[in-house]
Amino acid sequence: MAVEVREIEEENKFFLSGSVMRGRVRTNLEILSKSYPQFVNCTPMLFRDFTWNLKESYRDELGIEEGIEKSIRVGFLRKDNNIKFFVVPAKKFSDNKFFISIKEHELIKRFSVNLDEENRLFRISDKKWFDKISEIQNRANEITDEIKKLREEYKDQISCYNKSISTIFTEEFTFTKRLKPLRKIISNEIIENFFSNKFWDKLENIKEELYSRLKELPVKNNNIDKFFELMSERWMLKAVIDLLYYYLTKENSNKKYKPYQKLFFYEKDINGGIKNISSSASEKKKELLKGYLYNSTNAGTKRSHYFVNEPEEDKDVFFEVPEDVIESYKQNYKKMHFTKGEKSLNKEKANFYNVFDNKNYEKLIEEYPEGLIVFFQLENNEDKTSKRVKRIGRTPYFKIRYKHSLRDIIGEKEKNRVDYAEALFGYVTEKTDTFGQNRDEEYIYLSYKSRLRFSAIDIELNKPKQEEQLYLEKLLKPREFLLHSPSATACGMYLKQVDGAKLITYQDNEPKLRGYKYYHIWDEIDKLGIENNTNIRGVITKESISQMKGRIHFYNLKPQELGLLLISLDIKELLHSKKYCNDLKDFCNYIESCHELIGGAKPYGYGNVKVEVEDIYIEKEDDSFESLILGPLKEEKENKSQYIDKYLEEAYKAGKKCVLCRLKEYVNSKQERVRDNKEDGDFTKQRPKRISWANLSEKVYPKEWRLID
């Protein structure tokens, strides 16, 4: 088990916190009694999707009509007298762009910017790849100019088909979909030969397929064939660039990358863009303008750096960052993967993003006295005079809220109703997700004392065969695990899906949850070594301990509540039922083989335990002074059936068939799965295919994956 083992040093004894079992039992009890899931994390769920199913929703929500550079503002975060945060906007470029994106190969090849090694997205010593990309990009730009001319010449015939043309490219011929087979076979050898003949043939075939598809549109002009031919040609050139960048990202991504913000000087071109970039103003005779090269992450297939103009120093032009926006940013910051790491590089990245922490802000502002570059949007109002920030981030691609939250889907708990979980475990103090929008409702205070108390779990060691110190070192040997926090935004897993249909997300109307998440209980543990982004956990093994024992103290429980508690601890307690044993016969044979999972690293097969209720003691009803002194408890081990039957009797009132179905599914979820590496693909529910970091080639959860009932 990967758990935190505690020690009483003076007694040389080891134990686990009682909360290890408390959480497991409460979840079991909620499922079995259909209680309200009190401890589901219902903080707002966010998404950022500009290339997948939700790209239209995302673009509409952000108001991206003419491109991200003309839609998302950029500025410099500062603090007013060390009290309130505000943003000073950057000066616009003359073509109404708030900032300019520049591909890394253009920075190095076209503008001759000497980026520090740690600020590059790609670790490339041989510049021939950037030369090749630039050559292809130049040809694509030439074709774009030709396409613009033809679009203008035949605008009357083309305009009514713009939506259909866009749909063909955005749905049928996306790079993600059409280049997936080529991405799988791309290799050093293929790249070094700049794609083999077979590779080019496959690209040509896709291009021809696209050209044929475009020609199917009923455009009443034969001369437009040239327009479609050029669009197909440009698509293929961009596909080649995409494949080259995919390879660079996969094989030459800069793992030592650090975010940065650096002052540069530039000269405008006649169109208001950037003509030259210099690291010093003295390098040119002409008057140069101040600007900043900026990049906050090298995540995914990112290719560009951002160029931002200097701040607009008019004192009346600034935008307030409200407290609720700051709190929302902080909540999202906590979920960022690099905030969990202990490595110095992770800390640097985390600190770069941690702009609203007062101490960290002071450190950052010393390094960047002009202010911290941030992207933002303003609140909407009719006359467009708002001076309050609505969204803010270190990248222009904000995460935005889904239409539905988990609380929306689960629904509010029925008022004036106490379910089994609350009755036994008590209420809790619950924080709302308003982020201060309504200060009077930010906290809802609930109080009801628990009637259960879980003691510490004592670890009984096997007698050491070696010297005691060596034995204990083996017992508490730490191991590394990649332990991501589960994210409810994995829509394909957590929401009910329809086979073959479009992926249902929290943005759809009336999404439905699948149920409680659970991990498969594997027959053996992973022996996979993980190098990066790891968590350290102490591990104890079955060879080092004989058993673990703990107690649950309870009082004032009704018979049905005690019965529910017993089966929530150990589902095998159902076998003590006398009154309803015939109802349970369909799955009684499986109950004996049920296991529980406790502790961490569950996806790797850790935490597999069997729980048994050894004894149960009830206070005697005799309230005489003599009974209190000599023996206030009586053993009820032989009378468990009355409590189990009483619970089933109460549960059946909600519908016998529903209860038995839930029990059957519950028992199935507690079954140990045999690991199977069969190559023939003949997998069953009891012998499922094992998908882990070892055989998941891209080491990501593919968005198109989904669980189907």
- pLDDT, one tens digit per residue, over 537-576 is 777 777 777 789 999 999 889 999 999 999 999 999 999 9
pLDDT of residue 179: 87
Residue 371 identity (one-letter amino acid): G
- Nearest-5° Cα angle at 428, 426 to 429: 155
Strands 13-16 and 457-461: antiparallel
- pLDDT, one tens digit per residue, over 491-532 is 888 899 887 778 888 999 999 998 888 888 888 887 655 555
- Please check whether residue 705 lies inside any domain of the structure: no
Is the Cβ–Cβ distance between 611 and 549 less than 8 Å? Answer: no
The pLDDT of 144-152, averaged and rounded, is 91
Q: Comparing C-alpha atoms, which of 410, 409, 406 is closest to residue 30?
A: 410
**Domain range enclosing 230:** 124-252
- pLDDT, one tens digit per residue, over 3-44 is 888 888 777 788 899 999 999 999 999 999 999 988 887 777
- Residue 291, pLDDT above cutoff 80: yes
Look at residues 252, 286, 321 and tell me which one is the last residue of a structural domain: 252
Q: Where are the alpha helices (DSSP H) in 528-616?
A: 559-569, 588-591
The values of phi and psi at residue 363, to 5°, are: -65, -45
Number of domains forming the structure of the chain: 2
Q: Determine the Cα–Cα distance for residues 660 and 651; give it in Å rounded to an integer.
A: 10
Q: How sure is the predictor about 212, in pLDDT bands with cuts at 50, 70 and 90?
A: very high
The sign one gets for the Cα dihedral 496, 501, 505, 510 is negative
- Please check whether residue 499 lies inside any domain of the structure: yes
pLDDT of residue 445: 44
- Residue 120, pLDDT above cutoff 50: yes
pLDDT of residue 454: 95
192: exposed, middle or buried (Cβ count in 10 Å: 0-12, 13-18, 19+): exposed
Q: How sure is the predictor about 440, in pLDDT bands with cuts at 50, 70 and 90?
A: very low
Tokens of 549: 């024992």
- Please check whether residue 469 lies inside any domain of the structure: yes
Residue 272 vs residue 646, higher pLDDT: 646
Look at residues 233, 252, 271 and tell me which one is the last residue of a structural domain: 252
Distance of CA 372 to the CA centre of its chain: 26
- Please check whether residue 99 lies inside any domain of the structure: no
The pLDDT of 646-665, averaged and rounded, is 92
Q: Minimum mean pLDDT among 298-302, 364-368, 408-412, 693-697: which range?
A: 693-697
- Residue 441, pLDDT above cutoff 50: no
- Residue 270, pLDDT above cutoff 90: no
Q: Say how many C-beta atoms besides its own lie within 10 A of residue 151's C-beta.
A: 15
pLDDT of residue 86: 94
Q: Comparing C-alpha atoms, which of 270, 682, 692 is closest to residue 522?
A: 692
Residue 74 identity (one-letter amino acid): V
Is the Cβ–Cβ distance between 565 and 29 less than 8 Å? Answer: yes
pLDDT of residue 144: 93
pLDDT of residue 613: 93
Its pTM stands at: 0.75
Rg (CA), the chain: 31
Residue 641 vs residue 282, higher pLDDT: 641
- Please check whether residue 435 lies inside any domain of the structure: no
Look at residues 211, 226, 252 and tell me which one is the last residue of a structural domain: 252
- pLDDT, one tens digit per residue, over 575-622 is 999 999 898 888 888 898 899 999 888 888 888 999 999 989 888 766
- Please check whether residue 428 lies inside any domain of the structure: no
User: Same domain for 10 and 157?
Assistant: no
- pLDDT, one tens digit per residue, over 613-624 is 998 988 876 666
Q: Determine the Cα–Cα distance for residues 296 and 279; give it in Å rounded to an integer.
A: 20
Q: Where are the alpha helices (DSSP H) in 36-127?
A: 55-62, 104-109
pLDDT of residue 697: 54
User: Same domain for 500 and 618?
Assistant: yes
- Please check whether residue 137 lies inside any domain of the structure: yes
pLDDT of residue 515: 85
User: In whole numbers, what is the pLDDT of the chain averaged over residues?
Assistant: 82
- Please check whether residue 303 lies inside any domain of the structure: no
